[in-house]
Amino acid sequence: MQPIINYNPDVLTCLANLSNDEVFTPPNVVQQMLDQLPEELWSDKNAKFLDPVSKTGVFLREIGLRLNKGLEKQIPDTQERINHIYKNQLFGIAITELTALLSRRSVYCSKTADSEYSVCTDFDNEQGNIRFNRIEHTWVNERCSYCGASVAEYKRDDELETHAYEFIHTEDPATIFNHMKFDVIIGNPPYQLDTGGSGRQAKPIYQLFIQQAKKLNPRYLTMIVPSRWFAGGMGLNVFRDEMLNDNRISNLTDYVDAKECFPGVDIAGGVCYFLWQNGYSGDCTVVNKFKNAEYNSVRPLNEFNTFVRFAPAVSIVKKIRSKTEPSLTEITSSTRPFGLKTSDRPTKEGDLHMISSKAEGPVSSKRVTAGHKYINHWKVMTSKTSHDHAGQFDNEGMRRVLSRVEVLKPKAVCTESYIVFGPFSNEAEALNCQLYLKTKFARFLVSLLSFSQDITRDRFTHVPLVDMSQPWTDEELYKKYKLTKDEIAFIESLIRPMD
């Protein structure tokens, strides 16, 4: 007879695995984030904590547990201590009506704060300190002036959630809690909004919550968000610059594979959490977690215009920069290199040869509205879409990065499914460029800025523009830039060969 196993999983751990739309934070990750904070906070009966994006209430619940233990000597009576903590120290703003009920149930043990079942007996209203108010978007030219949501996607009937989050739909978030001073602001904000654009593009909004939280000038701020801000893009360039140049960020923990943080959740580019300390000024302790390994470093975040996540990669980029060579971006086209859209197709006749992702064939030069400098010369094209799913590492923790890489003859053009390198004066130079792009060295440097499916011109910023009159191998490139055995091994461990 098999023994009976008493299995009692944490319900919030279970919920953390349910949805990609609103990523719930597992309790163990919350504990890691709280461990960043100074120990003396848990015995400070005047410290105030705010989760402005409460989903399950897990942040407030875990904070409450720590305070309950830390204040035992100061407030010996259990009920008096609990009342003090939940009435005077813990505050939250739920993101939906449902998460408000869930958060109160997690924190107060009752969906209504003033219930006879609530652990806090001092509340005289249902919400307690975990509030939810239905907020409407402020429409200006078919967009919300606060979050950028579109009228078409987010103008909802009364019975549907508006997803107009209270914390970011105000000029002055301090008014939400009557200008209360918070010591700690912590949370896991919503990551994006559907723009209704082509391909169902999503607009990042997590940066808005961080910017609002800083307005409240807390002692400490920590949030867990996608790591895609490291390289910017899609509205994140200004935010990236703000974060990289904010020397109040003392700690940054980065999960290269989001599933190592949020089991079962697929987030392109990974996720990270940070600790922002009011009054701190200095280098940041960076921890990259990947494939059951940790890469640790202490460095300024603004060493480069974009953030280089791996410590071993920093030394590689520095060696390349020391050569003061131009970047490959100088011969890299912008998006839609010839003005031809993805949907464009070849015609029966034409003086040029067009390549699209679906077909090849003739096209008239009259349809080409850009990239004229490339037309009569040799060039190289590569797919604008990464070979890797959403630009992520595969199950073995490796990437190929680039997909199709081909040489284009004079009179050949392509659609916006590709970007182009050149022009080159002869076929040999184009072939050498093709070989260079296929090296692990070049693709590794592209991967440092690739946090999504798109391969755009700026992804080649770290790739040096080498002499294309000669062919290059990885061994020759490693020698040229004086890479160590460890640096070479690091590149080889991450990048797959490419035939």
Instruction: Please check the confidence at residue 18 and state whether its pLDDT lies above 50.
Output: no
Q: What is the predicted pLDDT for the residue at 392? A: 80
pLDDT tens by residue, 134-157:
999 999 999 999 999 989 888 878
Nearest-10 Cα torsion for 439, 441, 444, 446: -80
Classify 317 as helix, strand or coil. helix
For residue 17, pLDDT over 50 is answered with no
Band of the pLDDT at 15, cuts 50, 70, 90? low
Residue 133: per-residue pLDDT: 92
- Bridge-based pairing of strands 249-255 and 284-290 is parallel
Residue 199 confidence (pLDDT): 47
* Extended strands (E) in 59-99: 90-94
Closest CA to 33 of 147, 138, 185, 142: 185
Of 459, 408, 458, residue with least CA distance to 429: 408
Please check the confidence at residue 19 and state whether its pLDDT lies above 60.
no
Identify the pLDDT of residue 6.
47
Question: How deeply is 304 buried, as exposed, middle or buried, from its count of CB atoms within 10 A (0-12, 13-18, 19+)?
Answer: middle
The segment with the largest mean pLDDT, out of 188-197, 205-214, 352-361, 450-459, is 205-214
Q: What is the DSSP string of 116-155?
A: TT-S-S---SSSTTEE-------EETTEETTT--BHHHH-
d(CA 279, CA 283): 13
Q: Which two tokens stand for residue 452?
A: 């999504």
Q: What is the mean pLDDT of residues 12-33?
A: 72
To 10 degrees, the CA torsion angle through 327, 252, 180, 26?
Answer: 120
Instruction: Identify the burial level of 187 via C-beta atoms within 10 angstroms of its C-beta, where 0-12 means exposed, 13-18 middle and 19 or more buried.
Output: buried
Please report the pLDDT score of residue 163 as a whole number. 87
**pLDDT more than 70, % of the chain:** 94
Domain boundaries, the chain: 11-309, 328-494
Q: 346 pLDDT exceeds 50?
A: yes
**Average pLDDT value over all residues in the chain:** 91
Termini Cα distance of the chain = 57
Q: CATH classification of 328-494, choosing from 1.10.287, 2.60.40, 3.10.450, 3.90.220?
A: 3.90.220
- For domain 11-309, give the CATH superfamily: Vaccinia Virus protein VP39 (3.40.50.150)
What confidence tens digit (pLDDT) does each residue in 458-494 have? 999 999 999 999 999 999 999 999 999 999 999 999 9
Please give the pLDDT value at position 195.
62
Residue 425 confidence class, pLDDT cut points 50, 70, 90: very high
Of 305, 335, 284, whose CA–CA distance to 231 is shortest?
A: 305
**What's the pLDDT tens digit per position in 438-450?**
999 999 999 999 8
Does the pTM surpass 0.85? The reply is yes
Tell me the pLDDT tens digit for each residue of 26-48: 999 999 999 999 999 999 999 99
Question: What are the pLDDT digits (tens) for 348-364?
Answer: 889 999 999 888 999 99
